[in-house]
Every structure is written in structure tokens, then in C-alpha cells.
Amino acid sequence: MSTSLTAAERVAIARNPQRPNISDYIDGLFTDFFECRGDRLCGEDAAILGGVALFHGQSVTVIGTRKGKTLEENLKCNFGMPNPEGYRKALRLMRQAEKFRRPVITLIDTSGAYPGLEAEARGQGEAIARNLMEMSRLTVPVIAIITGEGNSGGALALGVANRVLMMENSIYAILSPEGFASILWKDASRSAEACDMMKLTAPDLMRLGVIDDIIPEPEGGAHTAPVQAIRQVDRCLQRHLAALAKENGPALAAARYQKFRKMGAAAPQKEEL
Amino acid sequence: MNSIFAKRRARLLAMKAIRDNYIPGDKLITCPKCGQESERKTVAEGLSVCPKCGYHFPIGGYYRLSTILDPGSFRELNEKYPAADPLSFPGYRAKLTAAQRKTGLTEAAVTATGTIGGHKCVVGVLDSRFFMGSMSAAVGEKITLAIEYAAKNKLPLILFSASGGARMQEGILSLMQMAKTSAALARFSDKGLLYISVLTDPTTGGVTASFASLGDIILAEPGALIGFAGPRVIQQTIGETLPEGFQRAEYQEEHGFVDAVVPRSQMRETLSQLLLLHEKGGRA
């Protein structure tokens, strides 16, 4: 692993448009993928891709944000920024996974939920909140992999998992470093400074206990040797899935609950009254 | 004996409430919505609502509680739960101390048990004077502890939200509070208990995208700004002027995200009615 990179350098790698995207991961990790479209309420959102596939012979539900590599692709999938329909489709597929007792694997690479007028009118906040609540209850294994950018509630809406894994050069944060700098200092150009303070790299988040494992990338980043990078994801995913397969449904939900329950709690207090 | 303690609690809440109900200005207060001046006394007596146009001024946590809880029923939960600086963010501790001095609060959430119209419940309030009611780890923890307390004691839960969203200085740990509070509400809900979410001005960002949107019943104060993305960000994204009333409580009601817009003067009565409706029967 290359440990010498600065946070800002990792942000640049995480955003490299040539980095493997969800389609590359689906091709490289799974077989027999069948895409399921639509939220069954009002629409289909191409910014989230989901479906059923086989992972080493086992049925799994795969859901992730979709970024394109070209402008044309990006226009089709709204640059990977989901609308509420995308989150509601994701929830539908997670419930389906629970019905058929198959693990859920999410792939996260998004600059955030789309901040648009229509997205607000259709309840962006409600859609994300509902996913957080329902994901916490799922009685099948859930593994989230942050492959590029994982920004804000728009990323977390696919991230309430038993295992949260990060690619070595991916980032996971409350919002983009530019947004952070502009809110805090009214100056988006100070984003490099923000990168350091935000603790958004995989090693930082491992130390904070927010994630569970780091998937090593080839020297220079996953885009320099995608096949090798995806092979590393495959190995890591197999290992974590095998460990989770030993647990029963209620135990999986309980363990997931405890994992998030501990986040940011001070020393335990005596209950009052 | 009991009544002495009840009186003492009532006095304590009344004192804290007075401090929380302060709107800047001398004898006359100018309404930011209609621009008209009103006597401070008139505004204060009218629950901090502009007597000319009905604008709801932001109010502090303890004052909010004093307007809805039965006198003497207030008991604070986890009052001393400490603020924290989990990322050792430069300058944050000093800002926290300044906010604590200014407001008399330890963090942006106040949680309590009490009764409304005789119905026992747990109530949490976000206070917009403290870091814009933003979601810190301590806020997330206090809200979660309140949810767990209500679940354990089989009490209905009411949360008043007012939040600018995430607490920037706590970064990813602020984000994680969204998952934590939502997961706690899932467990609470599985016990068949009632959660009423009340959205006040403004409810945005991570609070909208977690516990504020998950009520069995969702109420909102008139004119409250409610949304995930803030209007400025949306305007920059789409490059158009936003329509009048966009993301306001009435807009959210029209779009199906709020059960009822309830003026402050009717909030206590409405909550009491809802608690009553969920007390009778319901155990099939």
C-alpha cells in the first residue's frame, strides 16, 4: 500500500474518471447479473444501478451508485447523484434480498444525493432517512464498499452495513472538501486544507472505527491496473461474506445495530431518573 | 413532598425558559417577515409569534418545553451529557465554550420526560441557537438515549427538530449520527410505540434525512423551511430562481411529507389529542 499520499492526493485519485466504476466491478466480480429497474412508485433513476447476480456461485443483490466515464454517460446517470427514486429502488431491492435470503452488496461512489428542486419535491430527505432505518433492520448480511467518493447522506443511504469496506484511495465524508471549505470558511479554494482536517481517508476512518477494512490498490491507484484492483475487492469480499454467512438473521441485524450505536458515543453514562 | 418538587421543577423550567425566549431589540421588535414593529411584551406573551403576520420566531429548547409540557412535569434527561471534539478540530473547543456561555446549554439538544394534557411522554428539542441545531455526536447520542429511554419505559416520543444539518467540525461522526438515530427509531417503532416528529424552522440536511422524517405522525410549524439540500445549494445547482414558498411547511404538506401544519398556539392541544388517540385501544 502507498501510505505516503496526502489526503488531497487521495481525493484526486478517488475522483479520477478512469477509475473502475460500478459496471467494471459488476463485470469483474459477478456473473449472470440481471438489472432490476424502477422504484415501483413513480420512476427509475439511472444514478443507482441494482440487480441480482452470482458471486462465486451464490445469489447476491448488488446495488450501487453509477458514475459514467464520459460526459455522455454521465449525463445519463446524473453524474452519480441519485434522486429519491434511486434510493427507493435500492430499498425495494434490499427488501427483495431479505425475502430471498441473499446478501446485499452495495458499491458506493457518489458526490452526494442530487440537490435539485424535483428531488426535494419528491422527498430526498425522507428517502434517505427511510433507507437508514430499514437497512438497520435487515436480517441478511450487508456489505458496503466505498469505491470512489462517499459523500454525505447520499452515500450513507447505501452504507448501513455489517461491514463497511473502503478502497485504499477512496474517501468517505460528510460532504465534498469544497463544500466543507465553503461552509466553514466561505472559501471553496481552501479545499486541500479541508481534506486534511476532515479525516476522510481510509486509514483515518479505520482509526476512528467508522470502517472495518481497507482494500489495497495497485501503486498509483485502481485505474492504473483495474483487473488487479478488482481482484483485491473479490478476495476481501469473499472473506467478509464467509464470516457473515455463519451468523443468523437476527444476530446480523443486532450486530449491525450495535456497530452504529457505538459511533460517536462518549464514555457510558449512568441512566438518569 | 411531591408537590414541593413539582413546584421546584416548574420554577426551574420557567427560569430556563425566560432566558430562552429572548428576541433581540428594545421595547419594540421588528418582524423579519412582515417588517412591522410590535411590543416586546405582546410578542413574548403570544409564544413568540408576530401578532401582525403570524411569523414564528425561533425559540430556545427550554422555552419550547415550557409551552407544551404540563406545569411541574418537566424532568430533564441526560442534562449534563458533554459536548465533544472527536476530531480535535482546530478552534472547535473554543467555539463550543462560547456557544455554551451564550445559551446556557451544554449542546444543541434538550431532552426530557413530562406530561402533556396528563399524558406521559419523552420530548426532545433541538435548539437552533447552539451551532444552528446541527447534528454533533453529542446531539445524536442525546436523541438516541431519549429514544431508548422511551422504548424502555414504553412511552410515546416527540422530537422537535430545528437544524442546519451536519456539524462540520465533527465530520464523518456527524454523518454517522443519522444512521444511529434512525436505527434506534426502528427498534422503538418495532415495539409498537408512537413517535411524533415536529419540524420547526429550519429543518434541513442530516436531520431531515434521518429522525425528523421518520415520525408516525409528522407536524410542522407554519412557514418552517424543511428540506434536505438548502435553497442556496439548489439554486446554484439548477441555476434558476426557486418558486415562492418552496420547501416551506405548507409546501411539504402539499407534497405529502407532513400530516398537518400546526401553529404554535395549537401545538400543545394537538399533541395532547394525538397522545390520547394512541393511548386508547390500539393493542389488538
> Which residues of A fall within a CB distance of 8 Å from B246?
117, 120
**Which residue of B178, B207, B244, B246 is the best one to mutate when testing the A interface, meaning the one whose CB has the most A CBs within 10 A?**
B178
A99–B contact, CB cutoff 8 A: no
The grid cell for A223 is 485505474
The answer to whether A256 and A160 are in contact (CB under 8 A) is: yes
> Which residues of A fall within a CB distance of 8 Å from B76?
272
CB-closest option in B82, B149, B168 to A183: B168
DSSP code per residue over B55-83: -B----HHHHHHHHSPTT--EEESTTPPP
pLDDT of residue A3: 63
- Note whether residue B107 is domain-resident: yes
Q: How far apart are CA A54 and CA A103, in angstroms?
A: 11
Predicted ipTM > 0.85: yes
- Note whether residue B41 is domain-resident: no
B213–A contact, CB cutoff 8 A: yes
- Note whether residue A134 is domain-resident: yes
Each residue's pLDDT tens digit, A170-208: 999 999 999 999 988 998 889 999 999 999 999 999 999
- The number of beta carbons lying within 10 Å of the beta carbon of residue A262 is 11
Q: How far apart are CA A163 and CA A160, in angstroms?
A: 9
Task: Compute the average pLDDT of residues B94-122.
Answer: 97
CATH number (domain holding residue A186): 3.90.226.10
Min Cα separation A176/chain B (Å): 11
- Note whether residue B54 is domain-resident: no
Domain total of chain A? 1
pLDDT of residue B270: 98
Q: Is the pLDDT confidence value at B3 over 60?
A: yes
Q: How far apart are CA A182 and CA A191, in angstroms?
A: 8
A225–B contact, CB cutoff 8 A: no
What single-letter amino acid sits at B22?
Y
A138–B contact, CB cutoff 8 A: no
Residue A210: domain span: 7-261
The grid cell for A37 is 429497474
Residue of B105, B165, B110 lying closest to B132 (CA atoms): B165
- The number of beta carbons lying within 10 Å of the beta carbon of residue A192 is 14
Each residue's pLDDT tens digit, A104-138: 999 999 999 999 999 999 999 999 999 999 999 99
* B58: exposed, middle or buried (Cβ count in 10 Å: 0-12, 13-18, 19+): middle
Please state whether beta strands B119-126 and B157-163 pair in parallel, antiparallel, or not at all (unpaired): parallel
pLDDT of residue B281: 59
CB contact under 8 A, A115 and B234: yes
CB-closest option in B176, B187, B228 to A125: B228
- Note whether residue B34 is domain-resident: no
Each residue's pLDDT tens digit, B135-153: 999 999 999 999 999 999 9
- Note whether residue A2 is domain-resident: no
- Note whether residue A267 is domain-resident: no
Strands of the B109-116 sheet, one edge to the other? B75-77, B109-116, B119-126, B157-163, B195-203, B217-220, B260-261
pLDDT of residue B15: 81
Gyration radius of chain B's alpha carbons: 18
Between positions 111 and 170 of B, the ones with CB within 8 A of A are: 113, 137-138, 140-141, 144-145, 149, 166, 168-170
CATH number (domain holding residue B73): 3.90.226.10
